[in-house]
Structure 1
Amino acid sequence: MAKTKPDIIIILNDDMGFSDIGCYGGEIETPNLDRLAAGGLSYSQFYNTARCSPSRASLLTGLHPHQTGIGILTYDTGPEGYAGDLNRRCVTIAEVVKEAGYGTYLSGKWHVAKNLTEPTDSWPMQRGFEKFFGTIIGAGSFYHPNTLTRGNESAEHEATENPEFFYTDAISDQAAAFIRDHHRDTPDKPLFQYVAYTAPHWPLHAHDEDIARYKGRFDEGWDKLREQRLERLVRAGIIDASWVLTERDPTQPAWENAEEKEWLLRCMEVYAAQIDRMDQGIGRIVSALEETGRLDNTLLLFLSDNGACAEDIPEGVNVQSLVDDLMIAQAETRDGRPVLLGNDPSVMPGPEDTYQSYGVAWANMSNAPFRLYKHWIHEGGIATPLVVHWPKGISDQGGVRHVPGQLPDLMATVLEVSGAAYPRTYKDNDILPLEGVSLVKSFGADYERQEPLFWEHEGNAAVRVGKWKLVRNYPGDWELYDMDADRTETRDLAAAHPERVAQMLALYEEWAARCGVIPREKILEEMKKLGGTAFWEKDEDEE
């Protein structure tokens, strides 16, 4: 363990699958993340919360998202019962470590505030960050993002006045600048920085030179590439050789039967380029730490906010609604050309005047060897890479850890390494007790976790106790899996273990009641009374 307080940097990216980056079996070139993994630890069973806003709320606070007011997203969705606004029953990591003498910085996506244009007490500067540059909303053009903000002021001009502006680069460069400025002004003060990329969330936007690097990389198609990813994950010691690859998503054709292959390949090439560009930026952040002599005593963590995203962007969507109401798109490019919104195979993604997603089949590959996606609590929706690098605190360089963990554990970890105290009250507000378990014990060696893990999102739910996971794809039945023998969830054992199912379901229901989970049935009943469907079901592309 380090003798002095370490710097702490959490890097979160957006909508990336379990096996996309190089050190987790993927074809995408991520030399900087690979370097961090080789010099630190890779976790095989770390979990997010299946969706952008809930994951961010949980990571920042050490609580489950429902406790923070972020049960679904951040729009005012009315009778579904969650405020969509980070409440005052929680504290952020920034608020806590600031009290312990840390400088606090955020570069990137926020997405835990309902008001997207006016500062409120759920904005970054009001929740412990001394400096902030990024977006308040959760998605949008990488060339001209909505809600671009510096401090509490609009920074839209930084995109409109700079033809070279690209949001991924801006996040990276600002993060590196925060490190250099902090070291120049307060060299002996520890820093905490949260770097929150929007890559590779749709829309598929990337530079031509990055896209060109992946020409031909995916030509074998999703079926063979899923098999190859599993083989590399097994060789890396991340996946057990006895676990079988899940079947291809039944809604998708075999690669040999797929139509519009040129467009499909381009979609995956652009997606890869988005991650590649992010990795380049992470390299610049690491360089800033090296130049300032801070890298050795920096605890750096990298992970994704949910599994890969299978959401389609259909043609014919009301563009103006996405611009005015949801604030996740632009109707025109900065030089006045119309944005072509929708997955039209005659339009190749990448440039500023396109707005597309890469679809179910590639998301299925991104999550290999698991099934299902963002929104769901099966492994494809919640399993994330977790790379942890801390030269002064971790001696097992290149090690793999299999102990399960989830987002609230990051607050607990930060508390332990920083020496900060988690408060019972903060600014005259009672604060809910911390839900997480520190990862620091696992820095030295693997161990068996005793505490259960819980999830719920849109009725999809799970509880994991030891090797057993009880999970539901709402409104289906509860399924039971032995995660030691079958982490890819191919053999449902619920019928063979009814007593275990009942015990675990009781644990889940107790947790759900304590943490303010609103039963899905109640939400749908309320919506039916109003004669409509839930907001997020009408607009799957809202986030």
Structure 2
Amino acid sequence: MWTGQHTPFTQMIDNTNLAWIEDMRADPESLPTIGHMLRDLGYYTAYKGKWHESEFPAGDSTDAMEPFGFSDFQEWGDAYGAPLDGLNKDPLTAAEAVGWLQDRAPNISDSQPWFLAVNFINPHDIMYFDTDDEEMVQVRGMFPIFGAPDTPLYRQQWPTTLPASFFDDLSGQPQAVRNYKVSGDGMYGRIPMDRRDMWHNHVNYYINCMIDVDQHIGSVLDALEESGRDANTIIIFTSDHCICSNPSWFIWVNDNQRHIYRFLEGH
């Protein structure tokens, strides 16, 4: 997404916190990111929030993203999408972006256009959701899973429906598709197909995760409007991937569904 190039060029076939994956390749000449490209056009480029395309050395700093064409990274480092990272770190990302718009953008706008990438995590938290919590019917996997936070937002209940693909028969699918489900169940826990209540809990939590991140997006957009620069700013919403949220019984990361909120701003 950042380079416009596919895996053979970026070498990104898995998460970089795994031993067999190296950092994303990026070079201003041979494999530039959108940050490099916009810098060539005279833009000031800044980056806030989740990156997860490389391992930063100890002592992350605001210069950590310079090799990838961006300035002003957050001092507290990267956010990888660990359990409840969306709940805990999206507010920090929003605060970073709001602070940048209030304190940094006014000085830059006097001399050059700017581009700010704001990268939120949620609704990624659904990946580690425990659909029945204390009942423990959901079979545990390799990774820890958690129930919904006990807050008014996450206690909200919605009239959810299961998609038609929930009832798909995987027996006619390629073995690789079936293996994908088996590996997902092994990592994040298997939800019994006959427990429709647990699947509805899954969809309900996903909705609340989106409401949560939508509020943080709103705070950034409010700050942009208050700055008086909103009329001269192009806002782009995009995403990388997310869970299937039930299609074909998959409950973890898949590129068929693209609902993680990320948005870019360019002034």
**Structure-1-length-normalised TM-score:** 0.35
> If you compute each CA radius of gyration, which structure gives the higher value, 1 or 2?
1
Closer, same or farther in 2 for the Cα pair 1:286/1:375, shift >3 Å? Answer: closer
Q: Does 1:173 align with 2:95?
A: yes
Taking a change above 3 Å as real, the CA distance of residues 173 and 109 of structure 1, as seen in their structure-2 partners, is: same
In the TM superposition, residue 108 of structure 1 has moved relative to its aligned partner by 0.9
Could you say which residue in structure 2 is the equivalent of 1:364? Answer: 246
Q: 1:96, CA displacement in angstroms?
A: 2.4
Amino acid aligned to 2:9: Q
Give the C-alpha shift of residue 249 in structure 1: 4.1
Q: How does 1:35-434 map to 2 (within 5 A)?
A: 59-75=1-17, 77-78=19-20, 83-88=22-27, 89-115=30-56, 117=58, 123-133=64-74, 135-136=77-78, 138-142=80-84, 166-188=88-110, 189-202=112-125, 203-204=128-129, 206=149, 208-213=151-156, 215-218=157-160, 221-222=161-162, 226=163, 246=165, 248-250=167-169, 257-258=194-195, 261=197, 264-309=199-244, 363-364=245-246, 381-384=255-258
Alpha-carbon distance in structure 2 between the residues aligned to 1:87 and 1:302: 23
Residue 87 (structure 1) shift:
4.0
Give 1:84 shift: 3.8
Task: Measure how far apart 1:274 and its partner are.
Answer: 1.6
Per the alignment, in what secondary structure is the counterpart of residue 286 of structure 1? helix
The offset of 1:67, in angstroms, is 0.7
Deviation string for 1:21-44 (max 9, x for gaps)? Answer: xxxxxxxxxxxxxxxxxxxxxxxx
SS in structure 1 opposite 2:216? helix
Structure 1 alignment gaps of length 5 or more: 1-58, 146-164, 227-244, 310-362, 390-409, 419-543
The one-letter amino acid of 1:67's match is: F
Residue correspondences, number: 221
Tell me, what secondary structure is at the counterpart of 1:60? coil
One-letter amino acid of the counterpart of residue 47, structure 2: L
Q: Post-superposition shift, 1:137?
A: 5.1
Q: Would you say the 8 A contact 2:65–2:73 is kept in 1?
A: yes
How many Å separate the matches in 1 of 2:246 and 2:70? Answer: 36
Pairwise CA RMSD: 3.8
* 8 A Cα contact 2:26 2:68, kept in partner: no
Return the alpha-carbon distance in structure 1 between the equivalents of residues 98 and 67 of structure 2. 23
Q: Structure 1 pair 75/197, CA: closer, same or farther in 2 (3 Å)? A: same
Q: Report if the CA contact (8 A) 1:110-1:135 is conserved.
A: no
| Letter of the 2:236 counterpart | L
Unaligned runs of 5+ in 2: 130-147, 171-190
Per-residue CA distance 1:92-140 (angstroms, 9 max, x = gap): 22222223332222111111113463669x9413322220126535222
Are 2:79 and 2:89, in contact at CA under 8 Å, matched by a contact in 1?
no
Matches of 2:167 and 2:22, distance apart in 1: 37
Deviation at 1:297, TM superposition (A): 2.3
The normalised TM-score by structure 2 is 0.66
